[in-house]
């Protein structure tokens, strides 16, 4: 088998990074319902091993839609069971699983065939302030 030059590997990595950047911009546009006006590079050190903390049942976050900051709470559907995992270093917290995705509707639960899964909420959120 022949050797692959560093230039070829570099071109491949740049092309892959460009595709991933375009995919992230498309997801941004779907989710935020507005064109992407700037990007931000976030350094991520992917650990080789994760510690599983447990199963995530819900996640709360806030984001901007149509220029307004809005809080959201997503309760994962029964059976979805994404794993909440952590790396040893600071800032390494991950949701791992194959039964959810993010699209224009936010976090969406999926069945094993990739179809959207609907469910009756099990939790009641009470906002204190």
- pTM recorded for the entire structure: 0.72
Q: Residue 120 above 80 pLDDT? A: yes
> What does the buried/exposed string (b/e) look like for 71-108 if buried means 16 or more CB atoms within 10 Å of the residue's CB?
eeebbbbeebebebbebeeeeeeeeebebbeeeeeebb
Q: Residue 62 above 80 pLDDT? A: yes
Q: What is the mean pLDDT of the chain?
A: 83
29 vs 51 pLDDT, higher one: 51
Whether residues 67 and 126 fall in one domain: yes
Predicted pLDDT at 110? 92
Predicted pLDDT at 82? 94
Predicted pLDDT at 94? 93
Count how many domains the chain has.
2
List the beta bridge partners of residue 51.
86
Whether residues 31 and 75 fall in one domain: no
Predicted pLDDT at 2? 54
Predicted pLDDT at 7? 62
Whether residues 94 and 57 fall in one domain: yes
123 vs 75 pLDDT, higher one: 75
Range of the domain at 62: 43-129
Token pair listed for 62: 């806030």
Whether residues 32 and 47 fall in one domain: no
Whether residues 68 and 121 fall in one domain: yes
Predicted pLDDT at 84? 95
**What distance in Å separates the CA atoms of residue 74 and residue 79, rounded to the nearest whole number?**
15
Whether residues 63 and 115 fall in one domain: yes
Whether residues 63 and 121 fall in one domain: yes
């Amino acid at each position: 088998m022949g050797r692959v030059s560093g230039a070829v590997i570099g071109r491949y990595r740049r092309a892959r990074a460009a595709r991933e950047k375009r995919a992230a911009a498309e997801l941004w546009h779907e989710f935020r319902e507005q064109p992407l006006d700037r990007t931000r590079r976030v350094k991520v050190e992917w650990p080789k091993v994760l510690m599983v903390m447990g199963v995530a049942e819900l996640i709360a976050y806030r984001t901007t839609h149509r220029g307004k900051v809005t809080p959201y709470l997503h309760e994962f559907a029964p059976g979805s069971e994404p794993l909440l995992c952590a790396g040893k270093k600071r800032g390494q917290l991950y949701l791992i699983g194959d039964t959810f995705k993010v699209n224009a509707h936010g976090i969406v639960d999926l069945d094993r065939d990739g179809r959207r899964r609907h469910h009756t909420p099990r939790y009641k959120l009470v906002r204190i302030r």
